[in-house]
Structure 1
Amino acid sequence: MTAEALTTVDLTAPDEAPQLLRAAFDAVLRPSFTGDELGGPETIEPSERRVVSIVSTAAGEPMGVAVTDLDPDGISLLANLAVSPASRGLGVGARLMSHLAEVWAARAGVVLAEVHDPRGHADTPSEHPLARLRFYERAGARVLDTPFVQPALHPGAARVPDMLLLVLHPVGPAGAVDAVDSAELAEWIRRYYVAVEGTDPTDPTARRLLARVRERESVPAWPLARWRDVARLTLDG
């Protein structure tokens, strides 16, 4: 499969390419995430604030998907990025990241991603935490010096502890982020929890997480190779 045989599209409206969107969900996202980390197809519905980028073959077979929740005036989130099991190792992920850099440059400020901390997540057939970190490191990502607990993304889901927050944009010598304002990051975390869990995060785990973020004026963004230096925070403290 050559790069010329692939196409990349950005979906930004609910009724845009519904068959392609559903195929991307079933063939790419569903095999790549656990039930706690992925809701139903409706959770990736494109909109003005959510761009779904899909790499597919000339025949319309999805190979890679990225979902970006945009906040042009604040912090945006790469909510999902995955390559179908059959397409791994073919450069599809790198193609997506190159495309996303253009999308983010036009429509986003700081873009974060939440990824498994290899110290708390073992390799599985569908997830390889160290390999994922190496992938993002090649893209120039940096790691925030704060642990993270992913909120429960949908009813019936559990929170996912032992996560790392990566800075994906801006990166590179000309505009790399060295730190993120603590108040802005804490407010983003609070709004994220409210959006998916429905209430303000006031439980002990959330309070510890937010206290860790707020203990400094800004949270450093380190070279990704330093991910082991990020102090862990689990559901138990």
Structure 2
Amino acid sequence: MRVRDVADGDPLLARVYDDLLVPSFPADEMETLEWLRTRLAEGTAVVTAAVEADGTPVAAAVGEWDPGSRVLLLSYLTVRPGLRSKGLGSLLLEEVAGAWQERFRPLLTLAEVEHPLAHKADRAYGDPAARLRFYARHGARALDLPYFQPALRPGAGRVHGMLLLVLARAAGGGGREEGTVAPGPVRAFVEDYLLSEGEAEPDGAVRRLREGLARPGGIRLLPLDPPEALPLSTPDGI
């Protein structure tokens, strides 16, 4: 087993996408392979895979770099069914905490994950509650935001009931109040992300999210347990 980065033009990229990513995430949560290739070519994405001796990818992590906000998003982390809970996810998180930090020098490293109260466990897509426990073991905390994943492209839907986790932050990334994150980078990241939906008039969910971002003292960091205490976005923003 070895871990390596996957570049644009590498034949392994299509195998990672088709064999690992597509079966592991609902369609509305998935970017296209063409989008990923473009971002890799631009240097604003990173793909790291765990590969068996015969070249078969068995786990992968995909990151998106937003240079304007200096936020790095762990978009996808997946392990082939049957090999989960065997340390491969932790192995890839070591890359996120190490090589990815050296490469991008982000102010914040975030991850978007499904809220266990909004998404059920699924054989293909995994168990949101178990996923949250995994990130908790690695020290992640949730931002106190009613977060949703914006629609990624025309025809795709928003994904409500998501959490935005903080995996790492650079020195000085805290807010003015203890136990918070400075709102500026998060707000810039979210606003860039919302551009994928075009110039539509903000609805209740967007307004509620922006209210959460407009906290001058900082955005609170919350423990991941219990999930019932974590913020939950809804389509109507209530």
TM-score (norm 1): 0.86
Distance 1:221 1:197, change over 3 A: same
Distance 1:217 1:227, change over 3 A: farther
Q: Percent identity?
A: 36
Q: 1:39 and 1:9 mapped to 2: Cα distance?
A: 21
Q: 2:30 aligns with which of 27, 38, 58?
A: 38
Q: 1:103 aligns with which of 83, 99, 104?
A: 99
1:115-136 C-alpha deviation (Å, 9 max, x unpaired): 1111111111122100000111
Counterpart in the other structure of 2:111: 113
Secondary structure of residue in 2 paired with 1:97: helix
Letter of the 1:217 counterpart: G
Q: CA deviation at 1:139?
A: 1.2
C-alpha contact 1:44 1:52 (8 A) present in aligned 2: no
The structure with the largest strand share of the pair is 1
Q: 2:86 aligns with which of 62, 86, 90?
A: 90
C-alpha contact 2:142 2:163 (8 A) present in aligned 1: yes
Mark the runs of 5 or more structure 1 residues left unpaired by the alignment: 1-5
Q: Are 1:28 and 2:26 counterparts?
A: no
Aligned residue pair count: 226
Mark the runs of 5 or more structure 2 residues left unpaired by the alignment: none
Q: CA deviation at 1:170?
A: 3.4
- The within-5 A match list for 1:186-197 is 186-194=187-195, 196-197=196-197
Distance 1:226 1:220, change over 3 A: farther
1:92-149 C-alpha deviation (Å, 9 max, x unpaired): 1111111221123312221111111111111111221000001111111111111201
TM-score (norm 2): 0.86
Q: CA RMSD in A?
A: 2.2
C-alpha contact 2:47 2:61 (8 A) present in aligned 1: yes
Which runs of 4 or more aligned residues in structure 1 lie more than 6 Å from their structure 2 counterparts after TM superposition?
Answer: none
1:191-214 C-alpha deviation (Å, 9 max, x unpaired): 1110x2233662332122112221
